[in-house]
Amino acid sequence: MDILNTLPARISDIPRRWAQHAPQAHALHDGQRHWTYAELAAAVDAAAALLRRWQVRPGDRLAIVGENCVAQVVLSFAAAAIDAWIVHINGRLSGREVDVVLRHSGARLAIYLPSPAGPETAAHAQRHAATPVPTPLGDWLLGALNPHCAPEPVHAAPERQVAALLYTTGTTGNPKGVMLTHRNLLFIAAVSSRLRGLTPDDRAWGVLPITHVYGLTSVMLGTLYAGACLYLCPRFTPDALLQALHEHSLSIVQGVPAMYARLLEKLGGAPQRLATQLRFAYAGGSPLSPDLKAKVEQLLGVPLHNGYGLTEAAPTVSQTRLDAPRSDNSVGHAIPGVEVRVEGGELWVRGPNVMRGYYREPELTAAVLRDDGWLNTGDMVRQDADGALFIVGRSKELIIRSGFNVYPLEVETVLNAHPAVTQSAVLGRAGADGDEDIIAFVEPDPRHPVTPAELAAWLADQLAPYKRPSQIVIMPALPAAATGKILKSHLRQML
C-alpha cells in the first residue's frame, strides 16, 4: 500500500513533522489557550527528558492515569520517543480496576494527572502514595519506581515495536492488554485522516477518552497526523458540545451514539438545525439506530457517518465514506488496506491495524489471531451485495455501554463477591437510543437479605460508572439447568 510507505517510524514523529513544516499552527486547545505544534514538540522533548531522569527505559511500560488533557497527549508522544510503552488508564476507573492493570502491565512508573473534571485520579494517586512533582505542564503525581519491571525487547521496525498497551476486559473476566504497535496506530491515524478529509484548517473535538483506543488513535493521532487542531475536553456534557460548536467553530465531531442522544434530549428531542461550521460528524463504539441517525443529521445539518472497530484492530475496521453517506445502519465498507471475511457469521479481519497480540497471554492470542494474520473479531455480521457490513449480533455476551465494552463476567464476579449474593447473571438490553442497558439478576443468600440499593453501593466502589447495572433484579432463584448452569436465555426472555 502507498500509505504504508509514507508512514513515519514512531508516533512521536507526528508533532516533530508539523513543528518543522508549520510551527505556529495550532495543535491543541486545552480549554484555556492554544498550543502550537512548536510548543507541543518542545513539551514532548522536555517530557522525554524527564522520563529518562525518572529512570524509565526503552521497553518499560509507563502507566498514565488521568483524563483528556495536554499532559496526556505529551506523555503519549514522549513515551514513544524513548521506546517505552504507554499504558493509558482512565482516572474514573475504580481502585480495583486501576490496580489490576498496574499489576498485569508491570509498569515501571505510574504518573497521575489530576483533573479539574473530578477527584478520582487524585484519589488513586493518594492510595499509591504518589509524590507531587512540578513540571512545565503543572504538578504531576509520581508513583514509586517499580524495581521488578523488566524491559521488553526493543525493535527498530515499527510493525514490531509496541507503542501502546491498552486494556480491554475479556470474556474470562480479567482485563487483557492489547499490544498495539507504532505501525498499527500510524496506519489508522493516516487512514482516518484521509477518510475524514482532514486538513490543517480543521478543528476537531477531543472528548472521546484518550485512554480508549477510539479516542487515542482515530481522534487524537488522526487529527494531529493531518496537522489539524484538537480541542480537548475531559468529559462529555451536552452543554460542553454546544459551547465548543459555538465558540470554537468545530468542523469535526466524533462521538458515540449515546452522546448524540443526550444532546437531542437536552434540546428537546428533534429541534431545529443548529448553526455550525461542521462538515463531518461520526458515531462509533456502539450500534447506531436509523432513528437516532436521522434526528442527529437533521440537528447538525451533515450526514452522521458510522463505522465499526475493536481495540484489537486499533480500532477501525470499516467506515461509511464521505462521498457516499448512507441512510441505513450499515457500518460501511472495510477501510483501504484492510481485508474482511465472514466465517460462520463471524467477522474476521486482516491488515496493518491488527494487534501484535495480548500481553503475556499467548493462549488467548492464539485463540483469536491466526498465524496468517487473520483476527477473529467475535462479532456477528452480514454483508450486502456491494460489500457493506452490518453488525447483527455480538458473540460472547459483550455489552456496549456508552461506547465502552462491558463483559458480564466482570460485573458478575464483583457481585458474587458480596457476602449476601449466592450467584448472579448480567445481560444487556437494547435501549431506544441504540445504547445498551446493563441488567443484573441476583440470587441472594436467604440468610442474608440484601436490597438493590445495597448492591448498587457495593458495585460503585469497585466498578467504573459505565459498567454498573442500571437495574438490579433480586430473584429467589435464578433459572438453571440440571448442571447448575444459569439459563441466561430464560432471563433474556424476561427482558
Could you report the per-residue pLDDT of 136-184, keeping only the tens digit for each?
999 999 999 999 999 999 999 999 999 999 998 654 457 899 999 999 9
Label residue 213 by pLDDT band (50, 70, 90).
Answer: very high
Residue 112 or residue 268, greater confidence: 112
pLDDT above 50 for 475? yes
B/e letters for 193-221, b = 16+ CB within 10 Å, e = fewer, are bbbbebeeebbbbbbbbbbbbbbbbbbbb
Q: Write down the residue that cell numbers 487524585 correspond to.
A: 122
Peptide bond into 408 cis (omega under 30): no
Domains of the chain: 2-383 (3.40.50.12780), 407-494 (3.30.300.30)
Least confident of 205-214, 252-261, 429-438, 453-462: 429-438
Weakest mean pLDDT among 248-257, 336-345, 417-426, 449-458: 417-426
Whether residue 396 has pLDDT greater than 80 = no
Q: pLDDT-derived band of residue 344, with 50, 70 and 90 as boundaries?
A: confident
Residues 6+ apart with CB under 8 A from 95: 123, 124, 127, 462
Task: Look up the pTM and report it.
Answer: 0.86
Residue 329: its pLDDT value, please? 87
Q: Check whether 457 has a pLDDT greater than 80.
A: yes
Mean pLDDT of 181-200: 97
Helix (H) or strand (E) holding 35: strand 34-36
Cβ count within 10 A of residue 423: 17
3-class secondary-structure state, position 155 = coil
Tell whether the model's pLDDT for residue 366 goes beyond 80.
yes
pLDDT at 362: 97
